[in-house]
Amino acid sequence: MENRKLGKSGLEVSALGLGCMGMSFGFGPAGDKQEMISLIRSAVDSGVTFFDTAEVYGPFTNEELVGEALSPIRDQVVVATKFGFRPASTGEGRWSELDSRPEHIREVADASLKRLRIETIDLFYQHRVDPNVPIEDVAGAVSDLIQEGKVRHFGLSEAGVNTIRRAHAVQPVAALQSEYSLWWREPEKEILPLLEELGIGFVPFSPLGKGFLTGKIDENTTFSSTDFRNVVPRFSPEARKANQAIVDLIGRVAERKNATPAQVALAWVLAQKPWIVPIPGTTKLHRLKENLGALDVELTSEELSEIDLATSQIDIQGARYPENFARMIDR
């Protein structure tokens, strides 16, 4: 397994991580606990050292799952989790209220440490930027946790350039986690240049477009009633039909490379910068193995140029988030 360094932080992880959210939350019913533990440990056996979770995944159950799975092999892995939400005052099970007050960050850290069965959180992300709390206060709170040995590295998620700069000035940001894939390339405009300038690593979530870029989803696909994609505009049947063009493009490249569309989509992300570490998620062992096979797919500069040219002519349809989620994205 190839390793990569997340910017100048000194944090070194496997070139592909594993996003664990879908094992408990977000994409339909939670997976069988013992099967998910086995899957996580199979990932470790395959060389994966970077695992991503958050308190809100479940809530809480995903951290507990990851903690149980990794506790026997804690010294071999890097565990990332997140803070920044609290249960909403209305609506059972909803976590739509942001809360990055320093005292709440400390509470979340202590609770996450227990659920994850660890003494130090390797990478602690602010899950979403809280407009009611200055980012300097957030960075300061995490800095205090780093000084106390409860956290090793500070991260941000879906943060804008100004927020990243301000946070980094108080406590160096090791990594930014945001969506990035062949069908969401917005970070290329301002975010990636800033990360390169500051020496911050990039951890793309949904590098497979929430499954769409695998070629296994079309306009007729139906999702479980608890699947988040039911409310994502980009996953409306009309949008899926319109967006099939990018899947067809990836499929043509994959056929030529004797690879799968998922492997080409991941190989493309990996080829962008050496400090980018995608975290595709899965609940299936054969998909884990397929994703790891992307590390053996090398796209030439000519192929990358070809993909860039072709994708520039495809107008992706549909917003990537419903409005209530979109309003939490920092600009």
Residue 312's domain spans which residues?
A: 3-326
| pLDDT at residue 326, as a whole number | 78
CATH of the domain at 83: 3.20.20.100
Q: Is there a domain that residue 66 lies in?
A: yes
How far is 260 from 265, CA to CA, in rounded Å? Answer: 9
**Which residues are CB-neighbours of 264 under 8 A, at least 6 positions away?**
250, 253, 254, 257, 294, 297, 299
Q: Is there a domain that residue 70 lies in?
A: yes
Q: Is there a domain that residue 83 lies in?
A: yes
CB of 94 closer than 8 Å to CB of 64:
no
| pLDDT at residue 92, as a whole number | 46
Q: Is there a domain that residue 273 lies in?
A: yes
Q: Minimal CA–CA distance to 101: which of 126, 137, 127, 128?
A: 137
| pLDDT at residue 212, as a whole number | 97
Q: For residue 210, give the DSSP letter.
A: G
Query: Would you say the pTM of this structure is higher than 0.85?
Result: yes
Alpha carbon 21 to chain centroid distance? 9
User: Which residue in 57, 125, 180, 321 is the catalytic one?
Assistant: 57
Domain count, the chain: 1
Q: Is there a domain that residue 7 lies in?
A: yes
**CB neighbours of residue 39 within 10 Å:** 21
Active site residue 321: no
How far is 310 from 290, CA to CA, in rounded Å? Answer: 25
How far is 175 from 184, CA to CA, in rounded Å? Answer: 19
Burial class, 303, CB count within 10 angstroms (exposed 0-12 / middle 13-18 / buried 19+): middle
CB of 105 closer than 8 Å to CB of 145:
yes
Q: Is there a domain that residue 331 lies in?
A: no
Note down pLDDT in tens along the chain; length 331 residues. 999 999 999 999 999 999 999 999 999 999 999 999 999 999 999 999 999 999 999 999 999 999 999 999 999 999 999 999 986 655 445 567 899 999 999 999 999 999 999 999 999 999 999 999 999 999 999 999 999 999 999 999 999 999 999 999 999 999 999 999 999 999 999 999 999 999 999 999 999 999 999 999 999 999 999 999 999 999 999 999 999 999 999 999 999 999 999 999 999 999 999 999 999 999 999 999 999 999 999 999 999 999 999 999 999 999 999 988 878 888 7
Q: Is there a domain that residue 150 lies in?
A: yes
